[in-house]
Amino acid sequence: QVQLVESGGGLVQPGGSLRLSCAASGFTFSSYAMSWYRQAPGKEREFVAFVSESGVVTYYADSVKGRFTISRDNAKNTVYLQMNSLKPEDSAIYYCNGASGRAAIFDSWGQGTQVTVSS
């Protein structure tokens, strides 16, 4: 079965940085594009970043463009999200999933990792 394990979240001050990791198993990782999503309290889960199967193509939500970088290591079955210049509005639980454009494709979500940006 598909398993997605997010990690790397924490509490950081505005302007700080975090690097999130998503360890995937139960599917052929290199055959799937992957995305990061986030959900803040009282809000819908939203798309954050996309990376193609090879890692060559990336796409970002406008709200994080220029600040976040998505990447992947197919040898490690892991996708990353480097988050710089963090803002309080980035606070959310962050999730990864297989992706078709901005849409998640697996119905099995991980536990997510909490990111809190606060002074």
Please tell me the predicted confidence (pLDDT) of residue 101: 86
| Residue 22, both tokens | 């998503």
Taking residues 48-65, what's their average pLDDT?
Answer: 97
Nearest to 94 by CA among 33, 59, 47: 47
Mean of pLDDT values over 53-73: 98
pLDDT surpasses 90 at 23:
yes
Residue 88 has what pLDDT?
98
For residues 55-80, average pLDDT:
98
Q: What is the pLDDT, as a whole number, of residue 50? A: 98
Write down the pLDDT at residue 119: 93
